[in-house]
Homo-oligomer: A and B are copies of this chain.
Amino acid sequence: MPEPLYRRIAEDLLRRIESGEMSPGSQLPTELDLRESYGASRNTVRDALKWLITRGLVETRPGQGTFVVEEIDPFITTLSADPETGLGGGEGAAYLSEVRATGREPEATVPRVEIHQASGVVAAELRVDEATSVVSRHQRRLIDHTPYSLQTSFYPMDLVTRGATKLIEAADIEEGTVSYLSRTLGIKQAGYRDMITVRAPDRNETAFFKLPDNGRVAVFENFRTAFDQQGKPFRLTVTVYPADRNEFVINVGDVPARALRPGRPGAGGRRPGGQDSVSGSVGRNSREGLA
């Protein structure tokens, strides 16, 4: 009772991909060729390809063929505060310089400003009633002309009426909103809390990030709530990052300057699935529940 045929075909192709026999970007034999070489029906071959597709190893292009996927050069966002500027990390103002520091070219759209009534999460995080008006500022961000993240910040409308009128202008706030709010209203960012989750992309995200519509690539979602000196939240920033091109770093305490990713983890070529990996080794004679 061996494994089903489509699995055996998939595993064989997997082996050939991981061994380097088929390199990233190269084309696999056509479905009809595979049908012959494995002596299976075309549908079975397609089942094998689907198995590889959901694992992100290959992609199909109608009219062209099936290809080994090429990895995207990931961008690393540091979520903890910059020891220099004191605060920040992956946010609007700092974004452009952070990306440029890696020798890549950042782009960000002009903020799209909207006025909403605070809904569930926004109201809860900003600690305002659900009826309250909030300002949202939304930006799409790219690196080397590839979409890398979507960011939306929410501010209580209160801040605008108290004088921070630039918040409702559809233009960049060059100095950064932290600096701007400090200067105009005396609101200082004393700290922030990030809440990170992973979920499937929605329709908009799939379209903007050009993700395969098979729901394979997940997105990070980071909810950042910024607090002032009194511990009062004054901003909620929601940023969405496709997981196939983004990584995160958090520095706590005294950490030596990064040696610019000597050998980036995560990468290191394709992972040999099945062997004991760095983290794995969950018991070679596994399957025993717990001790």
Please report A residues at the B interface, Cβ cutoff 8 Å: 51, 54-56, 74, 76, 79-81, 87, 89, 107, 109-110, 112, 114, 119-122, 124-125, 138, 140, 142, 150, 152, 189-200, 202-205, 207-208, 214-216, 218, 220-221, 223, 227, 229, 231, 238-240, 243, 247-256, 258, 262-263, 265-266, 268, 271, 273-283, 286-287, 290-291
Least Cβ–Cβ distance between A123 and chain B, in angstroms: 8
A200 touches B291 (CB 8 A): no
Question: Cβ of A268: which chain B residues have Cβ within 8 Å of it?
Answer: 120-121
A189 touches B253 (CB 8 A): yes
Q: How far is the CA of A191 from the CA of B273 in the complex (A)?
A: 32
B254 touches A191 (CB 8 A): yes
Question: Cβ of A266: which chain B residues have Cβ within 8 Å of it?
Answer: 195, 197, 199, 221, 223
Question: Cβ of A125: which chain B residues have Cβ within 8 Å of it?
Answer: 265
Q: How far is the CA of A258 from the CA of B223 in the complex (A)?
A: 14
A282 touches B223 (CB 8 A): no
A195 touches B247 (CB 8 A): yes
Count of identical protomers in the assembly:
2
Q: How far is the CA of A52 from the CA of B122 in the complex (A)?
A: 29
Besides A120-B263, A197-B248, A207-B286, 15 new A-B residue pairs in contact (Cβ under 8 A), listed by A number: A54-B216, A56-B200, A121-B268, A190-B253, A190-B255, A192-B255, A194-B248, A198-B220, A200-B273, A202-B277, A204-B276, A204-B283, A227-B254, A227-B255, A227-B256
A195 touches B249 (CB 8 A): yes
A250 touches B87 (CB 8 A): no
B54 touches A214 (CB 8 A): yes
A238 touches B192 (CB 8 A): no
Q: How far is the CA of A258 from the CA of B225 in the complex (A)?
A: 11
- Say whether, besides A121-B263, A248-B196, A278-B122, A253 and B205 are in contact (CB < 8 Å): no
Question: Cβ of A227: which chain B residues have Cβ within 8 Å of it?
Answer: 253-256
Least Cβ–Cβ distance between A26 and chain B, in angstroms: 21
Please give me the residue from chain B that is nearest to A244 by CB atom: B198
Question: Cβ of A254: which chain B residues have Cβ within 8 Å of it?
Answer: 190-191, 227, 229, 231
- Say whether, besides A138-B281, A196-B247, A282-B150, A253 and B202 are in contact (CB < 8 Å): no
Least Cβ–Cβ distance between A32 and chain B, in angstroms: 20
Least Cβ–Cβ distance between A22 and chain B, in angstroms: 18
Question: Cβ of A221: which chain B residues have Cβ within 8 Å of it?
Answer: 265-266, 279
